[in-house]
């Protein structure tokens, strides 16, 4: 089913749950902070978002029950919104804070949702509501994902395999290949007592939240070496599994052009940094013995010699989600 | 700092915490199920993993305290392992289940860790231990990430900004561009009452946990249309932010060669599927009006006309992490 490529498929409202549908559904509801954060009341308009259309527009008709902070809390239903995939999203702002009140309101709501044929239930519990976590778990909720400040739990009502979507699964790393006009590569030696401690390496790191790949490469190079650069092209990427948090990892190798040359290392992470002749860099036995590294260096060398183009990033708008995002492709092909 | 590209930088053991170091550290400890799961006792050997070397090898010397399930539970220290970045990883298998026992053991352990100059504390609380979540939060822990079955919390000891790594931030999607010898594209119409409901689109979806990009593309096309394919090349990708769960999203456009032609749709997600002449597909006003979609289709067309190469996937080993993973690059450049 559709993903974030709005223009290729656009909004999706499936007649039944699908992992991706739900995921896109959530992509919208999570963008709609009002549903899940303290700023809720501050924002009542919901722009059309990718894959969702006008889903989650908060109107009275979406409110399953009166706010449970009312006196009827113990007998009332939990405040929640229907989603367009047959599920409900509970309002974390009006959860009863006592175990009994939550349990009874949830049981009443669950009966109500079952009658209505609802499927997935989404419950975001804020850090200050942590007392509700064991209660929700006891009621049959399962953890879905968490970030500092909250944990998201889900409950699957149908008597069939859960089709709720997975949480984010990848970290995005970059390696910066910075080469100057003298065919010298910017390399670092990390503070590392292990087998590769003596090896000169490319600066690498993970991109920050909502950071673009090329920006992350420029930032990491600057942080580790003090050298300013500009992005030229992404020449290759590695996809590895069972890495951090037992999840997966994509590492993009970015070719960067230096804009400055003086080196100032980040001595918390880096032992040394320097400009090293490319041939010397390649000749390090450590890399010659490693098929993956050897190939990456061959690719970088070909790119430096204009024998390889790679992908550049182009900011394009999608009318579906109204987003300006980067499309990476080979723009030397007269596309 | 280093990421999953072992060969480019290899193991990292920093003298001080860094987001990436910690992250790689965790990448290893999370791979080491023994530390965090019920299978703990089943596995005592720890292979050298990326970025870590032999970190986390469980030996008596790493045990900070006797198992707190001993009678000394209320006065004892929590069972934990030092990590090589100045932090500790608590053993979720031997956490005291009573609030008081946990709180007092944690306070005693914290004092001990402070004296030792420890920095980050990692606490994995299994689903069946949910009663400990509010207690840990009360003690100053914060949520880090969660998956069905557990929630991971962290505690940052130093009186300085927390430098612990972020949890996975991206979902990986694919779009399958499948074109046959008659220059017909495999397109689907999704069950979608929104603005693009009448539009013929490329099959799309998210890859599964630990699934490779090309495999995910082949699977999604098969699931949605019943057509068997083989991967030819990845021609472009889009990087979008603030998508699902307020996180980011990478969508890889994959060109696939059909191995079968009969269509069987997945009627849960798909309204219709067919082979559509490429010119007809391109001519859809919906795409002509969308800059992002238009560019992607231009790239796919160029690829179909052999005017564009894109990246293919090559399985390569890295001696650092001993992993066989895929490196994607343009192999038409005699690399």
User: What residues have CB less than 8 Å from A194, skipping those under 6 apart?
Assistant: B10, B11, B12, B13, B52, B53
Confidence band for B191, pLDDT divided at 50, 70 and 90: confident
Which pLDDT score is estimated for B8? 41
Average pLDDT over chain B, rounded to whole? 78
Confidence band for A192, pLDDT divided at 50, 70 and 90: low
Rounded to an integer, the average pLDDT of B160-170 is 85
Closest CA to B268 of A29, A162, A1: A1
Q: Which residues 294-323 on chain B approach chain A with CB closer than 8 angstroms? A: 294-296, 298-299, 302, 307-311, 313-314, 316-321, 323
User: What residues have CB less than 8 Å from A83, skipping those under 6 apart?
Assistant: A25, A29, A55, A56, A89, A120, A122
pLDDT of residue B310 exceeding 70, the answer is: yes
Q: What is the Cα B142 distance to its own chain's centre?
A: 21
Cβ contact A191–B14 (<8 Å): yes
Taken in order A128, A129, A133, A135, the sign of the CA dihedral is positive
In chain A, beta strands by DSSP E = 80-82, 88-90, 120-126, 142-147, 150-156, 170-178, 184-190, 204-206, 229-240, 248-258, 270-277, 312-317, 324-329
Rounded to an integer, the average pLDDT of B184-210 is 85
Which pLDDT score is estimated for A89? 92
Contacts of A323 in chain B (CB under 8 A): 240
Which pLDDT score is estimated for B308? 93
Which pLDDT score is estimated for A21? 34
Which of A32, A130, A168 to substitute to test the interface with B, most B CBs within 10 Å? Answer: A168
Q: How far is CA B67 from CA B64, B81, B111, in A?
A: 9, 12, 18
Contacts of A146 in chain B (CB under 8 A): 143-146, 151-152, 167
Residue with tokens 């749950």: A17
Identify which of A13, A18, A293 has the shortest CB distance to residue B194.
A13
> A215-234 burial by CB neighbour count: b if 16+ within 10 A, else e?
bbbbbbbbbbbebbbebbbb
Cβ contact B244–A26 (<8 Å): yes
Which pLDDT score is estimated for A97? 80
pLDDT of residue A170 exceeding 70, the answer is: yes
User: What residues have CB less than 8 Å from B195, skipping those under 6 apart?
Assistant: A10, A11, A53, A320
What percent of chain B has pLDDT above 90?
57
C-alpha to C-alpha distance for B294 and A298, rounded to whole angstroms = 33
pLDDT in tens, B250-304: 999 999 999 999 999 988 789 999 999 999 999 998 888 899 999 999 999 999 9
Closest CA to B3 of A292, A301, A3: A292
For residues A100 and A35, which has the higher predicted lDDT (pLDDT)?
A100
Cβ contact A7–B150 (<8 Å): no
Q: What is the Cα A146 distance to its own chain's centre?
A: 12
Phi, psi of A225 (to 5 degrees): -125, -15
Q: What 3-state DSSP class applies to A166? A: coil
Rounded to an integer, the average pLDDT of B18-41 is 29
Closest CA to A228 of A264, A259, A207, A262: A259
- Structure token pair of residue B281: 């597909």
Cβ contact A53–B195 (<8 Å): yes
Residues in chain A: 335
Could you tell me if B325 lies within 8 Å of chain A, comparing CB atoms?
Answer: yes
C-alpha to C-alpha distance for A220 and A53, rounded to whole angstroms = 37
pLDDT of residue B90 exceeding 90, the answer is: yes
Which pLDDT score is estimated for B117? 92
Q: Which residues 47-76 on chain A approach chain B with CB closer than 8 angstroms? A: 50, 52-53
A12: nearest CA partner in chain B: B192
Could you tell me if B178 lies within 8 Å of chain A, comparing CB atoms?
Answer: no
Could you tell me if B235 lies within 8 Å of chain A, comparing CB atoms?
Answer: yes
A294: nearest CA partner in chain B: B7
Which pLDDT score is estimated for B66? 31
pLDDT of residue B29 exceeding 60, the answer is: no
Which pLDDT score is estimated for B195? 58
Contacts of A3 in chain B (CB under 8 A): 171, 173-175, 204-206, 249, 251
C-alpha to C-alpha distance for B24 and B37, rounded to whole angstroms = 19
Rounded to an integer, the average pLDDT of A245-251 is 87
Closest CA to A273 of A286, A287, A258: A258
Cβ contact B11–A196 (<8 Å): yes
Cα distance from B154 to chain A (closest Cα, Å)?
9
pLDDT in tens, B94-107: 898 888 899 899 99
Check if the interface score ipTM surpasses 0.95.
Answer: no
Average pLDDT over chain A, rounded to whole? 78
What percent of chain B has pLDDT above 70?
75
Q: Which residues 90-109 on chain A approach chain B with CB closer than 8 angstroms? A: none
Closest CA to A258 of A232, A224, A296: A232
Question: Can you give the C-alpha Rg of chain A in angstroms?
Answer: 25
pLDDT of residue B323 exceeding 90, the answer is: no
Identify which of A169, A224, A239 has the shortest CB distance to residue B171.
A169
- Structure token pair of residue A155: 């409950």
Q: What 3-state DSSP class applies to A250? A: strand
C-alpha to C-alpha distance for B24 and B30, rounded to whole angstroms = 10
Which pLDDT score is estimated for B194? 57
Which pLDDT score is estimated for B75? 53
What's this model's pTM, rounded to 2 decimal places? 0.77
- Of A123-137, A158-172, A244-258, where does mean pLDDT reach its minimum? A158-172
Which pLDDT score is estimated for B86? 84
Which pLDDT score is estimated for B268? 79
- Of A27-36, A216-225, B20-29, where does mean pLDDT reach its minimum? A27-36
pLDDT in tens, A12-27: 222 233 333 333 332 3
Contacts of B314 in chain A (CB under 8 A): 295
pLDDT in tens, A80-138: 998 767 889 999 998 988 888 998 999 999 999 999 999 999 999 999 999 999 999 99
pLDDT of residue A220 exceeding 60, the answer is: yes
pLDDT in tens, B201-257: 999 999 998 999 999 999 999 999 999 999 999 999 999 998 877 789 999 999 999
C-alpha to C-alpha distance for B162 and B160, rounded to whole angstroms = 6
Could you tell me if A134 lies within 8 Å of chain B, comparing CB atoms?
Answer: yes
Which pLDDT score is estimated for A52? 23
A294 near A287, Cβ under 8 Å?
yes
Confidence band for B305, pLDDT divided at 50, 70 and 90: very high
pLDDT in tens, A286-322: 888 899 999 999 999 999 999 999 999 999 998 877 8
> B28-37 burial by CB neighbour count: b if 16+ within 10 A, else e?
bbbbbebbbb
C-alpha to C-alpha distance for A162 and A19, rounded to whole angstroms = 9
Residue with tokens 């993903």: A3
Number of other CB atoms surrounding residue B208 within 10 Å: 15
Q: What is the Cα B193 distance to its own chain's centre?
A: 32
Q: Which residues 27-46 on chain B approach chain A with CB closer than 8 angstroms? A: 27, 30-31
Taken in order A323, A324, A326, A329, the sign of the CA dihedral is positive
Residue with tokens 């939060």: B137
In the beta sheet, which residues pair with residue A179? A185
């Amino acid at each position: 089913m559709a993903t974030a490529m709005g223009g290729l498929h656009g909004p999706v409202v499936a007649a039944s749950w699908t992992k991706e549908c739900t995921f896109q559904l959530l992509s919208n509801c999570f963008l709609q902070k009002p549903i899940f954060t303290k700023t809720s009341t501050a924002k009542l308009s919901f722009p059309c978002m990718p894959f969702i259309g006008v889903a989650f527009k908060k109107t009275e008709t979406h409110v399953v029950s009166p706010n449970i902070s009312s006196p009827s809390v113990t007998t009332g239903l939990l405040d929640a919104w229907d989603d367009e995939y047959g599920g409900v999203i509970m309002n974390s702002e009006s959860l009863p804070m006592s175990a009994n009140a939550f349990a009874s309101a949830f049981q009443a709501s669950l009966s109500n949702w079952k009658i209505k044929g609802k499927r997935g239930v989404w419950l975001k519990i804020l850090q200050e509501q942590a007392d509700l976590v064991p209660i929700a778990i006891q009621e049959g909720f399962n953890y879905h994902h968490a970030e500092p400040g909250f944990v998201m739990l889900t409950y699957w009502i149908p008597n069939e395999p859960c089709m709720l979507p997975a949480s984010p699964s990848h970290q995005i790393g970059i390696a910066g290949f910075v080469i100057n006009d003298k065919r010298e590569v910017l390399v670092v030696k990390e503070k590392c007592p292990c087998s590769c401690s003596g090896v000169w390496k490319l600066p690498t790191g993970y991109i920050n939240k909502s950071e673009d790949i090329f920006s992350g490469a420029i930032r990491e190079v600057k942080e580790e070496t003090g050298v300013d650069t500009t992005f030229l092209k992404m020449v290759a990427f590695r996809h590895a599994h069972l890495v951090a948090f037992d999840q997966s990892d994509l590492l993009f190798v970015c070719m960067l052009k230096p804009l400055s040359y003086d080196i100032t290392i980040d001595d918390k992470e880096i032992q040394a940094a320097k400009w090293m002749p490319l041939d010397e860099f390649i000749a390090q036995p450590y890399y010659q013995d490693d098929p993956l590294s050897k190939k990456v260096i061959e690719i970088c060398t070909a790119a430096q010699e204009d024998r390889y183009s790679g992908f550049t990033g182009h900011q394009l708008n999608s009318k579906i989600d109204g987003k300006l995002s980067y499309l990476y492709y080979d723009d030397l092909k007269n596309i």
